[in-house]
Amino acid sequence: MTKNKHYKKIAAALAGAICAGPALAQSSVTLYGIMDTGITYVSNQGGHSNVKMDDGVNGPNLWGITGTEDLGGGSKAFFQLVNQFQIDNGSFMPNKSLFSRTSIVGLSNPLYGKLSLGNQYDFMTDSLYFAGDDPAELSGHFYDFRAGPFDKLALPGNATGAFDWDRMAGETVNNSVKYVSPTFGGFSAGAMYSFGNVAGSIGTGNGSSFALNYAHENFGMNAAYTNLKYVVTGEGDVSVRNWGIGAHYKFGGWITNALFTTVHNSYNGGSVYEGSVGAHYYFTPTLSAGASYMYMKGNDVVDNNHAHQVAAIVDYALSKRTSVYVLGVYQRASSGGYAQINGMNSSDGASSGQTQAVARAGLHTKF
């Protein structure tokens, strides 16, 4: 064999080895998003009716980047970056930045579970909402999340004091580490810890969240607990505690679910609970409708206010990606309370009386 032929064989072998390397560590990156906008009528907003353009109602406006890398042996590295934005003016959400919705990196393995670090959802969202237990998802969506005549709940850093008080609309936790176990016999569990990052006091501003999940075929049931501490000037740590339990069941063209959630503010002792049920039915693969009912009740700190809320939606799919819809939400508060549907967050967002209603026609698409 000549030297040239020998060198050519070595070069070919090296090239083969180089080419084979990436096949053992395949990776992928995906760009995706959701967009929703439409026209909303509000019956009573600070004593006046209002017709406005509103977005991010039947699902938030998101664009995200997610990626995985195969590390071999079933292990994968992954990342996710998600931005939430406002279609109507093209800006970030108020007081938010580019990837405030989600920014995580982690490792997963089917035998050992999933570990993620960064800015991410706690288990009130992760286990109860994403599992399909929230009736709001089947009816009024963002407008049908929890709010109500409970401004005296006074949650720290909250738009109204009681906006989305059970965290189901997708609030995230900074500086957090989250672990989700593999599924055994339909059961899985999760735990999260968030760091306060305060020198000399590891417990200041920290938080924790836990979950227990069960899923079998078309049925699922989930429980979640979250306790977060907020550093309030002159008051030290203020603890806000949530817990909830939910279930869902699918049969035929039906999707049904039920949810119970709570909140407690350690600063003033304010507490609220809610119970809700919902159903959604597909008349055809393109035409569907859903409805839900919710009852909310607060303790004496929030004047023992309570409220009834009903919501409904009719959705028509123009394609697999795009749909048009109409929805409505109605809330009636107890005597002396001011009704406030979720998303009515401005200074004049609450009704001037016991009732508030919204009606909306919108367009929803994803990519």
The confidence score (pLDDT) of residue 349 equals 87
Task: Check: CB of residue 294 under 8 Å from CB of residue 288.
Answer: no
Task: Check: CB of residue 142 under 8 Å from CB of residue 164.
Answer: no
Task: Check: CB of residue 11 under 8 Å from CB of residue 331.
Answer: no
- Provide the token pair at 163: 């906006």
**DSSP states along 148-191:** -S-GGG--TT-SSSSTTTT-TTT-EEEEEEEEEPPPBTTEEEEE
Could you tell me which residues are beta bridge partners of residue 50? 42
Identify the H or E element spanning 123. helix 123-123
CA nearest neighbour of 337 among 354, 312, 358 = 354
Kindly report the CATH class assigned to 38-56+124-366: mainly beta
* pLDDT greater than 60 at residue 231: yes
Query: What is the mean predicted confidence (pLDDT) over 260-274?
Result: 97
Convert the pLDDT of each residue in 164-193 to its tens digit: 999 999 889 999 999 999 999 999 999 999
CA 364/CA 137 separation, integer angstroms: 14
CA 210/CA 196 separation, integer angstroms: 18
The confidence score (pLDDT) of residue 201 equals 80
- Provide the token pair at 253: 């063209």
**Range in 200-214, 288-302, 328-342 with the lowest mean pLDDT:** 200-214
pLDDT band at 25, cuts 50/70/90? low
pLDDT band at 235, cuts 50/70/90? confident
Within a 13 Å sphere around the CA of 239, how many CA atoms are in the beta-carbon half?
12
CA 213/CA 127 separation, integer angstroms: 7
* pLDDT greater than 60 at residue 356: yes
The confidence score (pLDDT) of residue 140 equals 87
The confidence score (pLDDT) of residue 11 equals 40
Task: Check: CB of residue 339 under 8 Å from CB of residue 326.
Answer: no
Convert the pLDDT of each residue in 131-164 to its tens digit: 999 999 999 899 999 999 999 999 998 989 999 9
Block residue for tokens 């004593």 = 47
The confidence score (pLDDT) of residue 202 equals 82
**Range in 22-26, 123-127, 203-207, 275-279 with the lowest mean pLDDT:** 22-26
Confidence (pTM):
0.89
Annotate 56-92 with b (16+ C-beta within 10 A) or e (fewer).
bbbbbbbbbebbbebeeeeebebbbbbbbbebeeeee
- Provide the token pair at 251: 């049969």
Longest dimension (CA), the chain: 99
* pLDDT greater than 80 at residue 22: no
Convert the pLDDT of each residue in 341-355 to its tens digit: 999 987 788 999 999
